[in-house]
Amino acid sequence: MPQSAEKVLDHAPLFREPEYRQMLAEKKLNFECPHPDQIVTDQRELTKTWEYREKNLAREALVVNPAKACQPLGAVFAAAGFERTMSFVHGSQGCVAYYRSHLSRHFKEPSSAVSSSMTEDAAVFGGLKNMVDGLANTYKLYDPKMIAVSTTCMAEVIGDDLRSFIENAKNEGSVPGDFDVPFAHTPAFVGSHVDGYDGMVKGVLEHFWKGSERSQVTGTLNIIPGFDGFCVGNNRELKRLLDLMGVTYTFIQDASDQFDTPSDGEYRMYDGGTKIADVKGALNAEATLSLQRYNTRKTLEYCDEVGQATASFHYPLGVQATDEFLMKVSAISGKEIPETIRMERGRLVDAMADSQSWLHGKKYAIYGDPDFVYAMARFVMETGGEPTHCLATNGTSAWEAEMKELLASAPFGQDAQVWAGKDLWAMRSLLFTEPVDLLIGNSYGKYLERDTGTPLIRLTFPIFDRHHHHRFALMGYQGGLRVLTTILDKIFDKLDRESSETGVTDYSYDLTR
């Protein structure tokens, strides 16, 4: 046997042992009805051709490995950013287990959420009783200050009315009549996680602001970060910049502490988050700024309706994007951008200049949420790179038009292609037919890296197979410096691997790069 008490193997080398290789080969032969190896090889090679690419990109009725998640995931993440708020998903337990595990695997932290435990009978007769019992249990067991209700596709298909269900639950005493239970309808079969985030944040604001009038404007800025897997690092970096400017601000939906709790002997089911009192007071803010336009379209419309000035950005990463954000903050608040921040900008520009010979002309494929892809394409063009393929499964026609306008504004974007609504199987065809130097995305890109040999840089949610990336900022000048360093490390690591064979390729295995 390959294992014994004296020789315990990790799973990676264990399954390479002869006994396991034979077992797996027999299993494949006896139970998988495999095609001959040559047929499999021929089909694999076909998928690398332009002929297959044309058929692949023409797909309409099938999605293979979409670079997005469903609406309720965004709603659960949004709820985690408010003070002592429990996310309550009206649907089945299995759905909620997916949202919790997705967040926990990325942040390496517990992700608390409950469901109304809908099953077949609720799908037929409606889920009112599940809502009544579920809200009562949540209120008694978890002691929240607020319960944020969202839905799964089961509840949406049968048409459960959340507003009336919550009112009925309060009438039956599940929670006190004045207890805060904002809600958002988040059907999982349309849109994506960014729409669920948008719906829940709007639902929270509408719950507290509806029926109230703006009184004396406070001069405070509301900042909505959007769905961001790097919220731990990004939110703290943005707060640091705003504090340096002396700006008074309120982060609407701040999950930075919730997903970065310390190990000090105390379990925190709730930690940090935007205080309920601050959400109420945010109605009187000078303006509301969204860091991700396509994450907050409905929310900003509502802020406009209540009389607030609004502005939105595309994930302020890099020099120009951070410039625009800080100058807008300065214009609204009347606060000057201090010399400390100007120095940080100069250091980022200097670092980009120091490394320009390694970055200039590099070709990139980028995928992720619309605002992230926009920001990353903009940043790589600042470094002299070419964003050859820009793909967002949840990208809209408006996003596609904005992307094309951005790419047309710089010489490095002239040959770039924008792919709205396409998936990662389409990206595979693009990488085979028009290869690039680097792929930027999330952990799901590792299969593209394996198939095409394109080095993957993990810079967006979800990152399951690497640890603690989310604790560091990508936004701002300091975040841009980290992204720059991450890209360069990947370039140098690849070069070292390709030049490490003694006497053959090691003429370029240099100590200094």
**DSSP conformational letter for 81:** T
Q: Is 124 a catalytic residue?
A: no
Which among 76, 95, 153, 175 is annotated as catalytic?
Answer: 153
Neighbour tally for 88: CB within 10 Å: 29
Rounded CA-CA distance 36/460 in Å is 39
DSSP codes joined into one string, 309-343: EEEE-B--BSHHHHHHHHHHHHHHH-PPPPHHHHH
Which among 40, 64, 157, 190 is annotated as catalytic?
Answer: 157
> Residues, the chain, total?
513
Among residues 371, 358, 367, 356, the alpha carbon closest in space to that of 449 is found at 367
User: Which residues lie closer than 8 Å to 9 by C-beta, 6 or more apart?
Assistant: 2, 3, 17
The torsion of the CA quartet 109, 115, 119, 122, rounded to 10 degrees, works out to -160
- Answer for the pair 391, 427: CB distance below 8 angstroms, yes or no: yes
Q: Report residue 73 as tokens.
A: 């995931």
Tell me, rounded to whole angstroms, the distance of Cα 27 from its chain centroid: 38
Among residues 316, 294, 90, the alpha carbon closest in space to that of 192 is found at 294
Which residue stretches of 190-254 are H helix? 193-209, 231-245
Q: Is 95 a catalytic residue?
A: no
Active site amino acids: 153, 157
